[in-house]
Homo-oligomer: A and B are copies of this chain.
Amino acid sequence: MILILRSDATSEQVDHVVKHVESLGFAAHLSKGTHRTIVGIIGEEDEARNAPLKAIPGVADVVPVMPPYKLASRDAHPQDSIVEVGDCKIGGGHLGMIAGPCSVEEPERMDRIAESVRKSGANIFRGGAFKPRTSPYAFQGLGEDGLKILRDSGQKYGMPVVTEVTDPRNVELIVKYADMLQIGARNMQNFVLLTEVGKTNKPVLLKRGMSATVNDLLMSAEYILSQGNSQVVLCERGVKGFDNATRNLYDLASVALVKTLSHLPIMVDPSHATGRPELIPPCALAGVAVGADGVHIEVHDCPEVAKSDGPQALLPDQYHDLMEQLRGVAQAVNKKIACPQVTDSATIESNI
Protein backbone atom coordinates (compact mmCIF):
# COMPACT_ATOMS: atom_id res chain seq x y z
CA MET A 1 0.00 0.00 0.00
CA ILE A 2 1.27 3.45 -0.89
CA LEU A 3 0.34 6.73 0.74
CA ILE A 4 0.62 9.81 -1.46
CA LEU A 5 0.98 12.87 0.74
CA ARG A 6 -0.48 16.27 -0.06
CA SER A 7 1.88 18.69 -1.76
CA ASP A 8 1.42 21.03 1.22
CA ALA A 9 1.95 18.33 3.88
CA THR A 10 4.00 19.74 6.74
CA SER A 11 6.98 17.93 8.20
CA GLU A 12 4.94 17.44 11.38
CA GLN A 13 2.30 15.70 9.31
CA VAL A 14 4.89 13.51 7.62
CA ASP A 15 6.26 12.52 11.03
CA HIS A 16 2.77 11.77 12.29
CA VAL A 17 2.01 9.62 9.24
CA VAL A 18 5.16 7.57 9.80
CA LYS A 19 4.49 7.14 13.51
CA HIS A 20 0.86 6.22 12.91
CA VAL A 21 1.81 3.64 10.28
CA GLU A 22 4.47 2.17 12.57
CA SER A 23 2.03 2.07 15.49
CA LEU A 24 -0.14 -0.21 13.35
CA GLY A 25 2.77 -2.65 13.03
CA PHE A 26 4.09 -1.71 9.59
CA ALA A 27 7.34 -0.26 8.35
CA ALA A 28 7.12 3.04 6.45
CA HIS A 29 9.42 3.76 3.53
CA LEU A 30 9.62 7.41 2.50
CA SER A 31 10.37 8.56 -1.02
CA LYS A 32 10.61 12.31 -1.56
CA GLY A 33 9.79 13.34 -5.12
CA THR A 34 10.13 16.70 -6.81
CA HIS A 35 6.68 17.82 -5.70
CA ARG A 36 5.37 15.21 -3.30
CA THR A 37 6.41 12.65 -0.75
CA ILE A 38 5.13 9.12 -0.96
CA VAL A 39 5.17 6.54 1.81
CA GLY A 40 5.43 2.84 1.03
CA ILE A 41 3.83 0.70 3.73
CA ILE A 42 5.81 -2.49 4.19
CA GLY A 43 3.77 -5.40 5.58
CA GLU A 44 0.65 -7.41 4.84
CA GLU A 45 -1.70 -5.21 2.89
CA ASP A 46 -4.69 -7.19 4.16
CA GLU A 47 -4.09 -5.70 7.58
CA ALA A 48 -3.29 -2.20 6.38
CA ARG A 49 -6.50 -2.14 4.34
CA ASN A 50 -8.71 -2.03 7.42
CA ALA A 51 -7.10 1.12 8.80
CA PRO A 52 -8.55 4.45 7.61
CA LEU A 53 -5.18 5.68 6.39
CA LYS A 54 -6.68 8.23 4.04
CA ALA A 55 -8.08 10.03 7.08
CA ILE A 56 -4.62 10.81 8.47
CA PRO A 57 -3.97 14.54 8.11
CA GLY A 58 -1.63 15.24 5.19
CA VAL A 59 -2.51 12.10 3.25
CA ALA A 60 -3.94 12.89 -0.20
CA ASP A 61 -4.49 9.39 -1.49
CA VAL A 62 -4.01 5.73 -0.67
CA VAL A 63 -3.03 3.34 -3.45
CA PRO A 64 -3.41 -0.37 -2.83
CA VAL A 65 -0.99 -2.67 -4.63
CA MET A 66 -2.67 -6.02 -3.92
CA PRO A 67 -6.22 -7.22 -4.62
CA PRO A 68 -8.45 -7.20 -1.52
CA TYR A 69 -9.69 -10.76 -2.16
CA LYS A 70 -7.53 -13.76 -1.38
CA LEU A 71 -9.45 -17.01 -1.79
CA ALA A 72 -11.00 -15.84 -5.05
CA SER A 73 -7.66 -14.70 -6.46
CA ARG A 74 -5.80 -16.56 -9.16
CA ASP A 75 -2.61 -15.93 -7.18
CA ALA A 76 -4.03 -18.24 -4.50
CA HIS A 77 -5.11 -20.89 -6.98
CA PRO A 78 -3.41 -20.58 -10.38
CA GLN A 79 -5.43 -23.31 -12.11
CA ASP A 80 -9.03 -22.94 -13.22
CA SER A 81 -11.49 -24.22 -10.65
CA ILE A 82 -14.07 -26.72 -11.87
CA VAL A 83 -17.42 -26.65 -10.12
CA GLU A 84 -19.67 -29.71 -10.30
CA VAL A 85 -23.43 -29.28 -10.29
CA GLY A 86 -24.81 -32.77 -10.09
CA ASP A 87 -22.84 -34.51 -12.83
CA CYS A 88 -22.33 -31.34 -14.80
CA LYS A 89 -18.93 -29.68 -14.77
CA ILE A 90 -18.48 -25.93 -15.15
CA GLY A 91 -15.03 -24.47 -15.80
CA GLY A 92 -11.70 -25.79 -17.07
CA GLY A 93 -13.03 -26.15 -20.61
CA HIS A 94 -16.48 -27.43 -19.64
CA LEU A 95 -19.45 -25.24 -20.53
CA GLY A 96 -22.45 -25.21 -18.22
CA MET A 97 -25.62 -24.58 -20.20
CA ILE A 98 -28.37 -23.40 -17.88
CA ALA A 99 -31.83 -23.05 -19.42
CA GLY A 100 -35.43 -22.82 -18.31
CA PRO A 101 -38.19 -20.32 -17.61
CA CYS A 102 -37.81 -17.27 -15.40
CA SER A 103 -40.37 -18.54 -12.86
CA VAL A 104 -41.36 -22.10 -12.12
CA GLU A 105 -44.86 -22.56 -13.56
CA GLU A 106 -47.25 -25.54 -13.75
CA PRO A 107 -45.71 -29.06 -13.92
CA GLU A 108 -46.77 -29.90 -17.47
CA ARG A 109 -45.24 -26.73 -18.84
CA MET A 110 -42.07 -27.28 -16.85
CA ASP A 111 -41.79 -30.80 -18.25
CA ARG A 112 -42.30 -29.57 -21.79
CA ILE A 113 -39.64 -26.89 -21.45
CA ALA A 114 -37.23 -29.24 -19.67
CA GLU A 115 -37.57 -31.87 -22.37
CA SER A 116 -36.97 -29.39 -25.17
CA VAL A 117 -33.94 -27.66 -23.68
CA ARG A 118 -32.44 -31.00 -22.67
CA LYS A 119 -32.70 -32.25 -26.23
CA SER A 120 -31.08 -29.06 -27.48
CA GLY A 121 -28.13 -29.59 -25.16
CA ALA A 122 -28.87 -27.77 -21.92
CA ASN A 123 -27.32 -29.49 -18.94
CA ILE A 124 -28.77 -27.57 -15.96
CA PHE A 125 -32.44 -26.65 -15.57
CA ARG A 126 -33.54 -23.38 -13.99
CA GLY A 127 -36.68 -21.77 -12.62
CA GLY A 128 -37.47 -19.33 -9.81
CA ALA A 129 -39.76 -20.32 -6.93
CA PHE A 130 -39.04 -17.28 -4.75
CA LYS A 131 -38.97 -14.26 -7.06
CA PRO A 132 -37.45 -10.88 -6.19
CA ARG A 133 -39.84 -8.56 -8.04
CA THR A 134 -39.50 -4.81 -8.37
CA SER A 135 -43.23 -4.45 -7.66
CA PRO A 136 -44.94 -5.76 -4.53
CA TYR A 137 -47.99 -6.38 -6.72
CA ALA A 138 -46.23 -8.73 -9.16
CA PHE A 139 -46.15 -12.54 -9.07
CA GLN A 140 -43.84 -13.60 -6.23
CA GLY A 141 -43.30 -17.26 -7.15
CA LEU A 142 -44.82 -20.61 -6.16
CA GLY A 143 -42.61 -21.12 -3.09
CA GLU A 144 -41.97 -24.66 -1.92
CA ASP A 145 -44.45 -26.08 -4.44
CA GLY A 146 -42.33 -24.52 -7.16
CA LEU A 147 -39.19 -26.13 -5.75
CA LYS A 148 -40.79 -29.57 -5.99
CA ILE A 149 -42.00 -29.00 -9.55
CA LEU A 150 -38.58 -27.79 -10.62
CA ARG A 151 -36.77 -30.74 -9.04
CA ASP A 152 -39.18 -33.24 -10.56
CA SER A 153 -38.88 -31.86 -14.09
CA GLY A 154 -35.11 -31.77 -13.76
CA GLN A 155 -34.93 -35.35 -12.59
CA LYS A 156 -37.26 -36.57 -15.29
CA TYR A 157 -35.00 -35.15 -18.00
CA GLY A 158 -31.67 -35.81 -16.37
CA MET A 159 -30.69 -32.30 -15.33
CA PRO A 160 -29.60 -30.89 -11.99
CA VAL A 161 -31.51 -27.74 -11.08
CA VAL A 162 -30.66 -24.21 -10.00
CA THR A 163 -33.03 -21.80 -8.26
CA GLU A 164 -32.75 -18.44 -6.57
CA VAL A 165 -32.38 -17.84 -2.85
CA THR A 166 -33.61 -14.48 -1.57
CA ASP A 167 -34.11 -14.97 2.16
CA PRO A 168 -31.57 -16.32 4.67
CA ARG A 169 -34.47 -18.05 6.43
CA ASN A 170 -35.20 -20.12 3.31
CA VAL A 171 -31.73 -21.44 2.61
CA GLU A 172 -32.30 -24.66 4.54
CA LEU A 173 -35.50 -25.37 2.65
CA ILE A 174 -34.08 -24.69 -0.79
CA VAL A 175 -31.00 -26.80 -0.16
CA LYS A 176 -33.32 -29.82 0.07
CA TYR A 177 -34.51 -29.40 -3.50
CA ALA A 178 -31.84 -27.60 -5.49
CA ASP A 179 -28.48 -28.71 -6.85
CA MET A 180 -27.23 -25.14 -7.15
CA LEU A 181 -28.24 -21.95 -5.35
CA GLN A 182 -28.53 -18.72 -7.27
CA ILE A 183 -27.80 -15.34 -5.73
CA GLY A 184 -29.50 -12.75 -7.92
CA ALA A 185 -28.02 -9.46 -9.05
CA ARG A 186 -30.03 -7.44 -6.51
CA ASN A 187 -28.65 -9.56 -3.67
CA MET A 188 -25.01 -9.64 -4.77
CA GLN A 189 -24.14 -7.43 -1.82
CA ASN A 190 -26.66 -8.94 0.58
CA PHE A 191 -23.81 -10.06 2.78
CA VAL A 192 -26.13 -11.83 5.23
CA LEU A 193 -27.38 -14.06 2.43
CA LEU A 194 -23.88 -14.64 1.04
CA THR A 195 -22.77 -15.80 4.45
CA GLU A 196 -25.68 -18.25 4.71
CA VAL A 197 -25.10 -19.89 1.33
CA GLY A 198 -21.40 -20.00 2.17
CA LYS A 199 -22.26 -22.32 5.03
CA THR A 200 -23.98 -24.87 2.75
CA ASN A 201 -22.28 -27.50 0.61
CA LYS A 202 -24.14 -26.54 -2.57
CA PRO A 203 -22.60 -24.83 -5.58
CA VAL A 204 -23.56 -21.16 -5.82
CA LEU A 205 -24.31 -19.17 -8.97
CA LEU A 206 -23.39 -15.61 -8.01
CA LYS A 207 -24.76 -13.01 -10.39
CA ARG A 208 -23.02 -9.69 -10.77
CA GLY A 209 -24.90 -6.73 -9.32
CA MET A 210 -26.14 -4.07 -11.70
CA SER A 211 -23.57 -1.55 -10.56
CA ALA A 212 -20.95 -3.88 -9.15
CA THR A 213 -17.36 -3.51 -10.28
CA VAL A 214 -15.37 -6.64 -11.02
CA ASN A 215 -13.67 -6.05 -7.70
CA ASP A 216 -17.05 -5.91 -5.91
CA LEU A 217 -18.08 -9.18 -7.58
CA LEU A 218 -14.94 -10.95 -6.46
CA MET A 219 -15.35 -9.58 -2.93
CA SER A 220 -18.85 -11.03 -2.81
CA ALA A 221 -17.46 -14.38 -3.95
CA GLU A 222 -14.89 -14.03 -1.18
CA TYR A 223 -17.74 -13.83 1.36
CA ILE A 224 -19.00 -17.24 0.24
CA LEU A 225 -15.53 -18.78 -0.03
CA SER A 226 -14.52 -17.47 3.39
CA GLN A 227 -17.36 -19.51 4.94
CA GLY A 228 -15.87 -22.70 3.54
CA ASN A 229 -17.90 -23.16 0.37
CA SER A 230 -15.48 -23.22 -2.56
CA GLN A 231 -18.03 -23.98 -5.26
CA VAL A 232 -18.77 -20.55 -6.65
CA VAL A 233 -19.67 -19.82 -10.27
CA LEU A 234 -19.80 -16.14 -11.21
CA CYS A 235 -22.22 -14.76 -13.78
CA GLU A 236 -22.12 -11.59 -15.89
CA ARG A 237 -25.69 -10.47 -16.62
CA GLY A 238 -25.32 -6.89 -17.71
CA VAL A 239 -24.74 -3.72 -15.77
CA LYS A 240 -26.46 -0.37 -15.79
CA GLY A 241 -25.70 1.75 -18.81
CA PHE A 242 -26.92 5.04 -20.21
CA ASP A 243 -28.57 3.59 -23.32
CA ASN A 244 -31.91 2.00 -22.60
CA ALA A 245 -32.03 0.41 -26.05
CA THR A 246 -30.96 -2.75 -24.22
CA ARG A 247 -32.18 -3.71 -20.75
CA ASN A 248 -28.66 -3.64 -19.36
CA LEU A 249 -25.16 -3.21 -20.72
CA TYR A 250 -23.57 -6.62 -21.41
CA ASP A 251 -19.99 -6.29 -20.16
CA LEU A 252 -18.02 -9.06 -21.84
CA ALA A 253 -14.61 -7.51 -21.23
CA SER A 254 -15.31 -8.11 -17.55
CA VAL A 255 -15.51 -11.83 -18.26
CA ALA A 256 -12.07 -11.78 -19.88
CA LEU A 257 -10.80 -9.71 -16.97
CA VAL A 258 -12.20 -12.08 -14.34
CA LYS A 259 -10.40 -14.98 -16.05
CA THR A 260 -7.09 -13.19 -15.44
CA LEU A 261 -7.85 -12.24 -11.82
CA SER A 262 -9.62 -15.32 -10.50
CA HIS A 263 -9.71 -19.10 -10.82
CA LEU A 264 -13.47 -19.21 -10.45
CA PRO A 265 -15.67 -20.14 -13.43
CA ILE A 266 -17.77 -17.35 -14.88
CA MET A 267 -20.88 -17.71 -17.02
CA VAL A 268 -22.84 -15.19 -19.05
CA ASP A 269 -26.56 -14.43 -19.03
CA PRO A 270 -27.47 -12.70 -22.28
CA SER A 271 -31.20 -12.92 -21.45
CA HIS A 272 -31.03 -10.42 -18.62
CA ALA A 273 -28.17 -8.49 -20.20
CA THR A 274 -30.12 -7.59 -23.32
CA GLY A 275 -33.79 -8.23 -22.52
CA ARG A 276 -34.45 -8.69 -26.25
CA PRO A 277 -34.85 -12.14 -27.82
CA GLU A 278 -33.31 -11.12 -31.13
CA LEU A 279 -30.06 -10.11 -29.42
CA ILE A 280 -29.71 -13.14 -27.16
CA PRO A 281 -28.26 -15.63 -29.68
CA PRO A 282 -25.41 -13.43 -30.97
CA CYS A 283 -24.65 -12.31 -27.43
CA ALA A 284 -24.54 -15.92 -26.26
CA LEU A 285 -22.02 -16.76 -28.99
CA ALA A 286 -19.92 -13.76 -28.02
CA GLY A 287 -19.96 -14.90 -24.40
CA VAL A 288 -18.48 -18.25 -25.31
CA ALA A 289 -15.95 -16.61 -27.64
CA VAL A 290 -14.72 -14.27 -24.92
CA GLY A 291 -14.03 -17.21 -22.64
CA ALA A 292 -17.11 -17.72 -20.48
CA ASP A 293 -17.59 -21.12 -18.85
CA GLY A 294 -21.26 -21.38 -19.65
CA VAL A 295 -24.40 -19.62 -20.78
CA HIS A 296 -27.61 -18.95 -18.84
CA ILE A 297 -30.69 -18.47 -20.99
CA GLU A 298 -34.38 -18.11 -20.25
CA VAL A 299 -36.62 -20.32 -22.39
CA HIS A 300 -40.41 -20.45 -22.39
CA ASP A 301 -42.79 -22.24 -24.73
CA CYS A 302 -45.40 -19.46 -24.70
CA PRO A 303 -43.84 -16.16 -23.64
CA GLU A 304 -47.07 -14.17 -23.92
CA VAL A 305 -48.51 -16.04 -20.91
CA ALA A 306 -45.28 -16.37 -18.90
CA LYS A 307 -45.56 -15.50 -15.21
CA SER A 308 -42.47 -13.25 -15.44
CA ASP A 309 -39.94 -11.96 -17.98
CA GLY A 310 -41.89 -13.36 -20.94
CA PRO A 311 -40.68 -10.65 -23.32
CA GLN A 312 -37.08 -11.78 -23.02
CA ALA A 313 -37.65 -15.55 -23.29
CA LEU A 314 -36.38 -17.57 -26.23
CA LEU A 315 -38.76 -20.10 -27.76
CA PRO A 316 -37.59 -23.73 -27.62
CA ASP A 317 -36.84 -23.69 -31.36
CA GLN A 318 -34.80 -20.52 -31.06
CA TYR A 319 -32.84 -22.10 -28.25
CA HIS A 320 -32.27 -25.19 -30.35
CA ASP A 321 -30.88 -23.17 -33.26
CA LEU A 322 -28.67 -21.18 -30.95
CA MET A 323 -27.17 -24.34 -29.47
CA GLU A 324 -26.31 -25.58 -32.97
CA GLN A 325 -24.35 -22.41 -33.69
CA LEU A 326 -22.87 -22.32 -30.24
CA ARG A 327 -21.15 -25.68 -30.69
CA GLY A 328 -19.14 -24.24 -33.57
CA VAL A 329 -17.92 -21.28 -31.58
CA ALA A 330 -17.20 -23.49 -28.57
CA GLN A 331 -15.03 -25.71 -30.71
CA ALA A 332 -13.13 -22.70 -32.07
CA VAL A 333 -12.13 -21.73 -28.54
CA ASN A 334 -11.53 -25.29 -27.31
CA LYS A 335 -14.51 -25.60 -25.03
CA LYS A 336 -17.06 -28.37 -24.87
CA ILE A 337 -20.60 -28.55 -23.58
CA ALA A 338 -20.65 -30.87 -20.61
CA CYS A 339 -23.45 -33.41 -20.71
CA PRO A 340 -24.39 -35.18 -17.52
CA GLN A 341 -25.82 -38.66 -17.79
CA VAL A 342 -27.53 -38.56 -21.16
CA THR A 343 -26.91 -36.99 -24.55
CA ASP A 344 -29.53 -38.30 -26.90
CA SER A 345 -33.27 -37.95 -26.88
CA ALA A 346 -33.77 -41.72 -26.83
CA THR A 347 -32.23 -41.89 -23.38
CA ILE A 348 -34.21 -38.88 -22.33
CA GLU A 349 -37.42 -40.56 -23.45
CA SER A 350 -36.58 -43.70 -21.50
CA ASN A 351 -36.12 -41.61 -18.41
CA ILE A 352 -39.71 -40.48 -18.42
Contact = CB atoms under 8 A, between A and B. Distances in A.
Interface of A: 2, 4, 7, 20, 29, 31-36, 38, 40-46, 49-50, 52-57, 63, 65-66, 68, 75, 132-139, 166-169, 186-187, 189-192, 195, 209-211, 213-216, 219, 222-223, 226, 238-246, 249-257, 259-260, 270, 273-274, 276, 278-279, 282-283, 285-291, 303-306, 308-311, 313, 325, 328-329, 331-333
Contact of A311 (B55, B223, B239, B252): B55
A150 to B, nearest CB: 20
Contacts of A239: 211, 241-243, 249
Contact of A52 (B192, B251, B304): B304
B329 A325 contact: no
A209 B56 CA distance: 29
Contacts of A31: 29, 31, 40, 42
A7 B75 contact: yes
A286 B222 CA distance: 28
B137 A50 contact: yes
Given A29-B31, A52-B310, A309-B52, A191 B132 contact: yes
- A interface: dominant SS: mixed
Contacts of A63: 2, 4, 63
A4 to B, nearest CB: 5
Q: How many copies of the polypeptide does the oligomer hold? A: 4
Contacts of A192: 132, 166-167
B286 A282 contact: no
B286 A66 contact: no
Nearest to A20: B304
Contact of A242 (B36, B213, B285): B213
Contacts of A291: 282
Contact of A33 (B42, B190, B308, B311): B42
Given A239-B249, A260-B279, 12 more contacts: A2-B4, A4-B63, A7-B75, A29-B31, A32-B42, A33-B65, A56-B304, A239-B242, A240-B242, A256-B274, A288-B289, A331-B332
Contacts of A219: 134-136
Contacts of A241: 239, 241-242, 249, 251
A5 to B, nearest CB: 9
Contacts of A304: 20, 52-53, 55-57
A253 B260 contact: no
> In this complex, which of A192, A214, A276 has the most chain B Cβ atoms within 10 angstroms of its Cβ?
A192
A34 B38 contact: no
A265 to B, nearest CB: 15
Contacts of A136: 191, 195, 219, 222-223, 226
Nearest to A305: B52
Closest 8 CB pairs of A and B: A52-B310, A211-B211, A328-B332, A289-B289, A55-B303, A54-B311, A286-B290, A55-B310
B40 A34 contact: no
21 contacts: A29-B33, A33-B65, A35-B65, A50-B139, A52-B304, A55-B310, A55-B313, A63-B63, A132-B192, A136-B191, A137-B226, A211-B240, A214-B243, A241-B242, A241-B251, A246-B254, A252-B252, A255-B282, A256-B278, A256-B279, A286-B287
